[in-house]
Amino acid sequence: MACPFNHTAVELNPAVLPLEWLLGTWECDEPGEGCFPTIKPFRYTETLHFSHVGQPVINFMFNAFHAESKKPLHRECGFIRMQPATNRVAFIIAQNSGLVEIEEGELTAQQLTLQSRSLARISFAKKPHVQQICRVFQLRPDGKLEQTVSMATDSQPLTQHLQITYRRS
Ligand code: HEM
């Protein structure tokens, strides 16, 4: 019996056609670099999956691992929507830390620039709490995808947390 969730043959909805370049699986090229003024710098690997089922939405899953022990660490999943007839983009995101967020921003050429618009967390989320997130995805001329994430917390102003480059797998 055909898998009801296998929609690989379904055409991409025109509403998200400008994001077609994201679709598929991306593996990190070399370990990404994590930092923040309050933590020890670290290295991590990450796989990104972007897919669709024909709806005006892109589905995504990001799974990060410790670069040496390979243990699962940060995980995020969600949906991407575009405002019709504009370059406005919204990411609807759930993180395994107990944070949920909406990021909005713009698509210009093959770069997505996003800012958190709304953040909520479980009542017993670990401190410090994140207050703001800025994220950029950029498809480089060499075909590699780069992601940078900055955040502000209760105790720190907006500062870079993550920088990583992926290749299509
Ligand atoms: C630490 C948020 C993505 C790995 C932290 C801290 C926060 C945070 C608030 C604590 C900082 C402090 O103690 O002052 C986020 C957010 C993310 C994100 C909002 C996504 C938007 C990731 C990813 C990794 C990662 C992809 C990759 C493995 C770590 C590590 C630490 C850390 C290793 C330090 C140890 C720890 O507190 O667990 N992050 N993070 N984070 N983050 Fe992230």
Domain total for the chain? 1
Could you tell me if the CB of 145 is within 6 A of ligand 1?
A: no
Lowest mean pLDDT among 3-12, 36-45, 106-115, 127-136: 3-12
CA distance 165 to 137: 10
Q: Is residue 7 part of a domain?
A: no
Percentage of the chain beyond pLDDT 90 is 94
User: What ipTM was predicted for this assembly?
Assistant: 0.98
Looking at residues 85-109, what average pLDDT do you find? 97
Q: Is residue 133 part of a domain?
A: yes
Looking at residues 95-113, what average pLDDT do you find? 97
Q: What is the pLDDT of residues 30-82, one digit of tens each?
A: 999 999 999 999 999 999 999 999 999 999 999 999 999 999 999 999 999 99
CATH of the domain at 154: 2.40.128.20
β-pair type (111-121, 72-82) = unpaired
- Both tokens of 105, joined, read 């921003």
Closest approach atom of ligand 1 to CA 73: 28
Range of 76's domain?
A: 14-168
Measured CA distances, 136 to 7, 33, 112, 124 (Å): 28, 15, 6, 29
Q: Is residue 3 part of a domain?
A: no
